[in-house]
Amino acid sequence: MTSTFLGWRHLAATLALLSAFLSSASEARDLRLATTTSTDHSGLLRAILPPFERERGCRVQVVAVGTGKALKLAENGDVDVVLVHDRQAEQAFVAAGHGLDRRDVMYNDFVLVGPRSDPATVRGGRDVLHALRRIAAGQVRFVSRGDDSGTDRMERSYWEQLGISVRGAPWHVSAGLGMSEVLTMAGEMQAYTLADRATYATTRARTGLEIMVQGDRRLFNPYGVIAVNPKKHPDVNFADATALIDWLTSPAGRSAISAFRPGGEQLFFVTADR
């Protein structure tokens, strides 16, 4: 009886150790992706990542934040790969040795949206700077991301080009929130905001906001993917990060991105082959 009991205890301990080992191995195959809220909130990643996960045998953990925060997470080695939209910041990140193998993946565009009443009378324009100048001149409410995201950085560049300081301006609200939340705020406040087209498309039914300005070349919004440099952070999952980069820029990945059309509307466009 005692021998049988000890045998069972030994078997249980062995199974526990095996379970812990398998769990650890599974965790080691997790790939940590820091990306923008636009790719997450639009539903793009939920649509395109499962085929990659099945093919590669890994699980992608998505951290959706602004571009600035995503690059900071990567710089600290807290993620393995980033998918962001701020070309200048991406190039600086690679130049500083934090990232490798940056590639263009896709693009969409920004749109200036606002309430149907259009108090600044900017509807139908194709010049985003002209529209923002009118909003500032009329001191019409504008809600900003204010979170160092790619969208926030783009908006700040517009005000800088105009020579307009929005710091402390009573009509300019810095929310410090993601795109979906900012669109909700703008809808509630009957204000204008700058948004990526994908997130706007997924929220317009509940916000009631309408596109006021689109088509300006300044509103072009390209996305790049970068692996974290393993020489900086030896513990990063560089193999799966590289595999994701290869897949996103492969015919299979490009096809998955192009096929993502919620409501029949294409929200992201793959970058042309070079």
> In this structure, what token pair is assigned to residue 125?
């324009």
140 and 13 in one domain? no
Q: Can you spell out the DSSP letters for 88-132?
A: HHHHHHHHTTSEEEEEEEEEEEEEEEE-TT-TT--TTBS-HHHHH
pLDDT in tens, the chain (274 residues): 444 444 445 444 444 544 544 444 444 479 999 999 889 988 999 999 999 999 999 999 999 998 999 999 999 999 999 999 999 999 999 999 999 999 999 999 999 999 999 999 999 999 999 999 999 999 999 999 999 888 999 999 999 999 999 999 999 999 999 999 999 999 999 999 999 999 999 899 999 999 999 999 999 999 999 999 999 999 999 999 999 999 999 999 999 999 999 889 899 999 876 5
**230/95 Cα distance (integer angstroms):** 15
* 82 contact partners, CB below 8 Å, separation of at least 6: 33, 34, 35, 70, 71, 73, 74, 99, 225, 226, 228
113 and 102 in one domain? no
242 and 190 in one domain? no
102 and 234 in one domain? yes
pTM summary value:
0.80
**40/95 Cα distance (integer angstroms):** 27
142 and 9 in one domain? no
**81/78 Cα distance (integer angstroms):** 9
pLDDT for residue 20: 45
What DSSP designation does 34 have?
E
Overall domain count for the chain: 2
* 169 contact partners, CB below 8 Å, separation of at least 6: 136, 139
pLDDT for residue 274: 53
Is the alpha carbon torsion for 203, 161, 224, 68 positive or negative?
A: negative
235 and 101 in one domain? yes
Final residue before a domain boundary, out of 198, 219, 240: 219
Final residue before a domain boundary, out of 202, 219, 236: 219
101 and 233 in one domain? yes
195 and 161 in one domain? yes
Final residue before a domain boundary, out of 219, 241, 262: 219
Structural domain of 117: 109-219
94 and 27 in one domain? yes
145 and 45 in one domain? no
191 and 121 in one domain? yes
58 and 37 in one domain? yes
CATH of the domain at 65: 3.40.190.10
**220/105 Cα distance (integer angstroms):** 14
